[in-house]
A and B are shown apart, each in its own frame.
Chain A
């Protein structure tokens, strides 16, 4: 079944399939059913192809596909390693889920320009796959910018003043940091080492004195230059991107775009600096603390947000900093925790976003304070929200528990005991700002914003439900089941990712 194409072919086809799909979507502009059919088929085919690639990596292969030689020593080429394979699998798998959800949401809210919407989505997937598989910094940078540009139209989808302002901040910060900081970092790396290939163990070790201030400067350029990682203070584009339709927030701003950022951070830490070099240089300590601050501050800000999507966005900023933290701990358990968080957070946060969208589709409510008592009308939605929230908080039996576990071990290994406390405190904050939402929905009276229900409500009946359309419910159900499944599958995931930390 998976032997139809060689992994190299599958990579090329997986990148080409969404582009072809995009063409089909454009041609089927006037026939929405055909158009959505093409989207789903394209997503399915892409996922199948990525699965082939993933499978080959699991068996130890490292397929390579060189495309163009842009400059001597600078080529556009792809090379796989476990982290990229994992990221591509998550992105393409969740694209299917999200396409289903988009159909329910976009039709449920009668959005305009739906053809453009699906086309940009397909383009964003190509960019995300390109990032996941990039063999060197320049390829990464190319697709990184492509992802920014293709998602810009999605962020400004509504086209009104507010969307344009959000879009400007989005583009300004992401493009600004990438050109002003990331590009010089890449060129510096190129000048220092004569290349920019992602290589196991890093490439800087031989060409730079580890105690030189250049290491610190270069690391800062990378950490803040990869703005998609949303490390504070480069995070404000993410809440502003919430003006986009919810499927965009769910998929791009919980999975593809932000994960591309932290994935980049992880890649740079592992394959450019190398964890040994990084931990010996001591430059990572400052960033451990910036990430820790980011975790706590963003959680604190999230608590003050009444708009559900804004609250989730700040929660994302906080959760992304876990991955940066894992990369900066620069030891095997930290890297493992950070890498797992890429997968776990994707499923959990996407569940939450899709529930938020379902609430909007069914009842047009966006503020947490309006959601009192809504659980009676939308028990399934809030039930799924509860599961997603538990995973983000990091409670068993949800997959979200494992990254926190590994990160704490990593922090202990790195001798940063205070970080363990930070992680624990963050989980407490998560409990407050996430679990308060389903509690409010289930236990409070609809028109009472403060106290519990004063009068005993009539007994609940199945017919009380006013849920969102089926296609807005099935996708979060799938991802919620996914978070539970990953709790039990963690052994396989660990084995798959172990080459990152030098294991077989």
Chain B
């Protein structure tokens, strides 16, 4: 067996095989070390894979030697190669962080189950990303979702509300999945295939109610999964009550993968010649802009910092949708860029909050008072990540905001120009809600109330992981060129598939 030949399937096989093994390990540190090693190995694999794709172009892999459209095909181009690298990078940074954080939040005997669920979730997300088969997407999406429900519910050790949050998420997520699978069924009815490339070829010229209904079901189902306004209601409680490391991991990966798969269906499966696409893009523009403002406004009034950041995530997904809705290579590239950069900033922010939760037992705003004195590394890491989220120059967030603005102005016309100004206006709202936290952190330590006791510093491992993420924000803020080139090429390949089909 040639290693390189089997490479495309390894990032998904490795965590999948590792997950059940993890359940057999003794409770304690062992499952954590195991999961961390798997995440690192997967990250290494996905980097090699990304390099291969960058050099040699798109890689296809037929599962079990059954070639598409009969068998399940894995198809890795630059877009999902990049998302794959992103997910496994986040995992490689968050899993080490999880160790000390989880020890405090999850019962000792539950640790093997916890890390098994985490690995399954990880494997599911990777599967969704690299598969080239539409039904396979559904399968992996459910694997990752089911394990996510479990992981969110495990936050119940600290706050019982995690159970209702997980249940809400379960109901909403399942509705989304059902919509998605109904859409797939309709597509299968219309075309007789489930392979994405094959689907696209057979969909060309089809403009009937079945396909339109399939499109609507799929977009709505995925819209639920990626927390597009107004289908976002499951997200804030789920993020808020999940264990800290899970929030950091999910915020940086789960919605991102959903955004990616939405892109894949819009541009690879349906494609530009699909007459309904422009209607959907208009919807995305409206919903994206609405999300930017509604969710940012909601975030301004949250006293729970995790809740605030969760609403901010909904708003940031609005930015990505806006980029996608422009329907230009620049727009999609900017959306992808923001997808990556937002993962960096949100992971960093939620990891910083996790450090506070570990030491002070709360993620309310009042727990952050005087944090700059009490936990300087955590506080300043959080400040930098917040600056990135607000789009201050020198950070990754600025680059993606700049690219989004540039894409909307470049498109020309009144609507994109107005959308550009709305982007900057809504990022002002972000400045407002982030400043609120930063100001509290810079205040002197509280003299009364529950948070007066001195605390020990968070474990070194957590601080190091946090700062790896923070430095990623700075690095991609100063040397964004490579990433921009990557997203631009990825976007043109993603959209070029359709151009080729049309011509």
**B496 close to chain A: CB less than 8 A:** no
Q: Point out the residues of chain B lying under 8 angstroms from A455, CB to CB.
A: none
Q: At the interface with chain A, which of B87-95, B417-425, B446-454, B458-466?
A: B417-425
Report how far A183 CA is from B422 CA in the complex, Å: 12
Contact status of A179 and B424, CB under 8 A, knowing A69-B479, A71-B480, A187-B406: yes
Determine whether B298 belongs to the interface, using a CB cutoff of 8 Å to chain A. no
- Write out the residue numbers on chain A whose beta carbons fall within 8 Å of the beta carbon of B442: 153
Is A179 in contact with B405, judged by CB distance below 8 angstroms?
no
- Check B421 against A68 for contact (C-beta < 8 Å): no
CA distance A184 to B416 in the complex (A): 13
Q: A99 vs B391: C-alpha distance in the bound complex, in angstroms?
A: 33
Q: Which residues of A (157-209) have their CB < 8 Å from a CB of B?
A: 159, 164, 171, 175-176, 179-180, 183-184, 187-188, 190-191
Contact, CB under 8 Å: B410 / A176: no
Q: Would A76 and B478 count as touching, CB distance under 8 A?
A: yes
With contacts A68-B479, A142-B393 known, is A184 near B421, CB below 8 A? yes
* In the complex, chain B residues whose CB is within 8 Å of the CB of A149: 392
**Which chain B residues border A142 with CB–CB below 8 Å?**
393-394
Is A101 an interface position by the 8 A CB rule? no
Q: Is A370 close to B, CB under 8 A?
A: no
- Give the CA-CA distance A190 to B403 in the complex, in Å: 11
What size tier do the contact residues of chain A reach? 20 to 34
B425, A141: Cβ atoms under 8 Å? no
Given contacts A142-B393, A184-B420, A190-B406, contact A179 B479 (CB under 8 A): no
Interface pair B428/A70, CB less than 8 Å apart: no
Whether the Cβ atoms of B431 and A188 lie closer than 8 Å is no
- A138 partner residues in chain B, CB cutoff 8 A: 393
> A145 contacts B392, CB within 8 Å?
yes
Neighbour of B481 across the interface among A71, A159, A164, A191, CB < 8 A: A71
Chain A, Cβ-Cβ closest to B405: A187
Inter-chain contact A187/B427, CB cutoff 8 Å:
no
- A415 CB within 8 Å of chain B: no
Q: State which residues 55-113 of A face B: CB under 8 Å.
A: 68-72, 74, 76
Complex interface: chain A residues within 8 A of B410 (CB): 191
Collect the chain B residues with CB atoms within 8 Å of residue A188's CB.
409
Q: Quick one: closest A residue to B439, CB to CB?
A: A164
Contact, CB under 8 Å: A179 / B480: no
| B403 to A, closest residue via Cβ | A71
State the CA gap A146–B410 with chains docked (Å).
Answer: 28
Give chain B nearest CB distance to A389 CB in angstroms: 38
Q: B434 → chain A, closest Cβ, in Å? A: 11
CB of A22 to closest CB in B, whole Å: 14
Judging by beta carbons under 8 Å apart, are A72 and B402 in contact? no
B354 at the interface (CB under 8 A from A): no
Residues of B within 8 A of A179 (CB): 391, 424, 427-428, 431
CA of A69 to CA of B484, assembled, Å: 11
* Cα of A149 to Cα of B485 in the assembled complex, Å: 31
Whether a CB of chain A sits under 8 angstroms from the CB of B435 is yes
Select which of A71, A164, A183 is within 8 A of B399 by beta carbon.
Answer: A71
- Smallest beta-carbon distance A417→chain B, Å: 38
Within 8 Å CB of B176, what residues of A? Answer: none
Tell me, yes or no, whether B183 is within 8 Å of chain A by CB: no
Q: Across the interface, which residues of A come within 8 angstroms of B477, CB to CB?
A: 70
Interface string of A140-152 (1 = CB under 8 A from B): 0110011001000
Identity of the chain B residue whose Cβ is nearest the Cβ of A67 in the assembled complex: B478
The CA of A145 and the CA of B479, in the complex, are separated in Å by: 19
- A313 and B83 alpha carbons, distance in the complex (Å): 52
Minimum CB distance partner of B330 in chain A: A191
Residues of chain B within 8 A of A146, CB atoms compared: 394
A145 to B393 Cα, complex, angstroms: 8
- Taking CB atoms, residues of chain A closer than 8 Å to B393 are 138, 141-142, 145
Min CB gap B326→A, angstroms? 13
Give every chain A residue within 8 A of B405 (Cβ-Cβ).
183-184, 187
Residues on the B chain within 8 Å of A68, using CB: 478-479
Q: Which residues of A contact B424 (CB under 8 A)?
A: 179-180, 183-184
**Which of B380-404 touch A at CB < 8 Å?**
391-394, 399, 401-403
Give B296-339 interface residues, CB cut-off 8 Å to A: none
Residue of B nearest to A186 (CB): B402
With both beta carbons as reference points, the residue of chain B lying nearest to A73 in the complex is identified as B481
The residue on B at minimum CB distance from A171 is: B435
Cα–Cα distance between A187 and B406 once the two chains are bound (Å) = 6
Which residues in B have their C-beta under 8 angstroms from that of A180? 421, 424-425, 428
Q: List 6 A-B contacts (CB under 8 A).
A: A69-B481, A70-B480, A70-B481, A175-B428, A179-B391, A184-B421
Instruction: Using CB atoms and an 8 Å cutoff, list the residues of chain B in contact with chain A.
Output: 391-394, 399, 401-403, 405-406, 409-410, 420-421, 424-425, 427-428, 431, 435, 439, 442-444, 477-481, 484-485
Contacts A159-B443, A179-B428 supplied; 10 other A-B pairs, CB < 8 Å: A70-B479, A71-B484, A74-B402, A142-B394, A159-B444, A183-B401, A183-B405, A184-B409, A187-B406, A187-B420
